[in-house]
Amino acid sequence: MSQPSLASYPALRLRRLRQAEWTRRLVRESRLTPSDLIWSMVVHEGEGRVPVSSMPGIERLSITEAAKAAREAKALGIPAIAVFPHIDGAGKDAVGSQAADPNGLIARAVKAMKDAAPEVGIMCDVALDPFTDHGHDGVIEAGRVINDATIARLVDQGLMQAHAGCDILAPSDMMDGRVGALRAALEAAGLKDTLIMSYAAKYASAFYGPYREAIGSGKLATGSVDNPADKATYQMDPANSDEALREVALDIAEGADMGMVKPGMPYLDIVRRVVETFSMPTFAFQVSGEYAMIMAAAQNGWLDEERAILESLTAFKRAGCAGVITYFAPRAARMFGE
């Protein structure tokens, strides 16, 4: 549809609509509320809270503290929490055996959080990298991450999470076909109401570094015949845009209820294309590196911390996101209340 002709200055003065706070609120196009936020959280074995040095203000939470956080989310109006595990090195192996443990950290954390605040949705990461000693998202054979063998382990992991009470499975591994395999397994197990939010367009990004410290996955090897140096063979090339639409289309066809773009702010163009093409609930993940950059700049006095947080989150809504997964969720929700 063609745009109508605009009046010219001085008949048209766009600053009229910006002259006061009430006029700016009246015509605001994008609105951010606690209901737009999913709280990204890391849990650990043991007691209390453990600071993450590369993410100022972020702590790994014990199961007891995670249950308290679920009650806090309810009070703040945050609808869901995305939970990620920190696994001690002694519990890791080459195939991520603990990923599907029904008595493991994630199963116990999910149960505690749902008991504490059943109204708050819990989203679990379906991926092996927190549980593997090599830090990759899948099973490695002859120096390659093997797609189908990995999917078999992801299905076991996802079923365990769903049986533990997880509401949303979020496969972040980027194996081909994993959404369809998870959906089929859920249906066969009678778990038809379990949601899948696919990491449909997850890029091989430099912005994940602090998260790897947070979950204890460490740095990948420098590269050898037994361990690839990076995740570029399964995560997307940051230079690609059309490919993201193909990935999303495949995951929708396989049974995803919602899609995700990761990272967030550097990929808002991808978010917009996905929303306009598929009209499905699309989320973005404001990842650890994005969080760390804002906090580092704010702590150096280079940015106004609260304004930068809210502006960054509003950008996701402006791009068309249904919501955003972010470590800032409780902080932002409290700011809304204030």
Active-site residues, by number, are 202, 262
Tokens describing residue 47: 């007691």
Backbone angles phi and psi of 286, in degrees to 5: -80, 100
Give the residue carrying structure tokens 């947080």: 309
Instruction: For residue 287, give the amino acid letter.
Output: V
Q: What is the DSSP string of 197-237?
A: EEEEEEB--GGGHHHHHHHT--PPPS--SSS-SSSTTTSBP
Enumerate helices (H) and strands (E) in the chain, giving the number of each. 11, 12
Q: Find the Cα–Cα–Cα–Cα dihedral 253, 257, 262, 268, rounded to 10°.
A: 90
